[in-house]
């Protein structure tokens, strides 16, 4: 458990650029050779990418992540791809929620209207009148089936008179020259000429508006850190100065100090300008394979000539001069 915790701490320091140069190289060789550790590094990278895209990092952590992690095109592509996936998922959730809310509102409004109709006093009164009319109509129908219609009275002239209040149903008139078959055809033609009402199409649900997709702005591309190999002495072979081409957007540069022999366990390197002012120094450096990787931040490498003074710590704890390395920076 403790080893896994230590690995996570190292991974976070490595991805945020907080490891010294020598420890960073050693950690890279370690996780490249160990598949399990490599999977842990990728998992932590995915977590940091999600935090960066969702804006869960504070300003300091965001700056470290951009300077240390977004240094290659492949990593920037991973961040852009993760940003698109998260934005698409967020848009799908918003559209689904909007559709669900519209459906619930429509359903509730219909049921509310029906409930209000049934509890309305007007509806209750109308229902009572309908029941009374149905009862009277049924009673009249039963009386008519049992005998002669009491509302019809024959007088001496055989004229039919009806009880006031009852209106006889009009009989369609047929002209003398028109047969019953012609009358049926006329009714059929009238029915055909009657315009048929056009059904109203149901309203389409166009209330849901899709959220416009946001344009993904890629982060600024940081230039890779340059590397320059240096050897003891002031000039290169052929009498030319060692030139370091330093991009303005690079975070720093790695200066490989090559030694003829390794006589000390620990070394110290000082970067000075042409006037001898110490601009940057670092101690406790190792020389595996007779080479020291001396990482210098970009703010200390402006255009001009520089000198690296390398010293080694003897058994008495004192620094002894080992070699000088001279180079020039161009931007």
pLDDT in tens, 257-269: 999 888 899 999 9
- Of 24-33, 84-93, 321-330, the range with the highest mean pLDDT is 321-330
- Of 5-19, 83-97, 209-223, 309-323, the range with the highest mean pLDDT is 309-323
The model's pLDDT over 244-300, given as tens digits with 9 standing for 90+, comes to 999 988 999 999 999 988 889 999 999 999 899 999 999 999 999 889 999 999 999
Mean pLDDT confidence for 61-65:
86
> Does the pLDDT value for residue 49 go beyond 80?
yes
pLDDT given for residue 327 in this prediction: 94
pLDDT given for residue 43 in this prediction: 86
pLDDT confidence band for 193 (50 / 70 / 90) = low
Residue 193 to residue 295: CA distance in whole angstroms: 96
How much is the mean pLDDT over the chain?
A: 75
Q: Which of 166-180, 207-221, 305-319 bottoms out in mean pLDDT, i.e. has the lowest?
A: 166-180
pLDDT confidence band for 125 (50 / 70 / 90) = low
CA 316 to mean position of chain CA atoms: 60
Distance set, CA 60 to CA 8, 19, 44, 101, 312 (Å): 20, 17, 18, 40, 36
Residue 209 to residue 206: CA distance in whole angstroms: 7
- Whether 26 contacts 13, CB under 8 Å: no
């Amino acid at each position: 458990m403790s080893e896994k915790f230590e690995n996570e701490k190292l991974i976070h320091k490595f991805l945020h650029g907080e490891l010294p140069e020598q420890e960073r190289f050693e950690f890279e060789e370690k996780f490249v050779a160990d598949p399990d550790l490599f999977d842990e590094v990728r998992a932590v990278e995915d977590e940091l990418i999600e935090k960066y895209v969702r804006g869960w990092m504070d300003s300091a952590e965001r700056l470290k992540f951009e300077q240390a992690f977004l240094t290659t095109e492949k990593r920037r592509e991973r961040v852009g791809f993760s940003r698109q996936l998260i934005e698409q998922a967020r848009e799908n959730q918003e559209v689904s929620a909007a559709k669900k809310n519209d459906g619930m509102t429509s359903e509730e409004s219909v049921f509310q209207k029906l409930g209000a109709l049934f509890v309305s006093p007007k509806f209750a009164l109308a229902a009572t009148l309908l029941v009374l009319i149905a009862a009277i109509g049924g009673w009249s129908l039963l009386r008519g089936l049992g005998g002669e219609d009491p509302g019809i009275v024959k007088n001496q002239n055989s004229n039919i008179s009806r009880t006031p209040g009852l209106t006889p149903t009009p009989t369609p008139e047929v002209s003398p020259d028109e047969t019953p078959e012609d009358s049926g055809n006329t009714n059929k033609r009238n029915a055909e000429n009657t315009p048929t009402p056009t059904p109203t199409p149901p309203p389409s649900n166009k209330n849901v508006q899709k959220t416009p997709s946001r344009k993904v702005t890629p982060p600024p591309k940081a230039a890779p850190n340059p590397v320059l190999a240096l050897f003891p002495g002031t000039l290169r072979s052929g009498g030319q100065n060692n030139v370091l081409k330093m991009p303005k957007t690079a975070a720093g540069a790695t200066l490989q100090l090559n030694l003829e022999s390794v006589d000390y366990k620990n070394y110290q390197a000082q970067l000075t300008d042409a006037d001898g002012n110490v601009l940057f120094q670092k101690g406790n450096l190792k020389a595996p394979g007779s080479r020291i990787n001396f990482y210098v931040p970009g703010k200390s490498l402006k255009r001009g000539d520089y000198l690296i003074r390398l010293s080694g710590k003897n058994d008495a704890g004192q620094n002894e001069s080992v070699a000088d390395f001279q180079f020039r920076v161009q931007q």
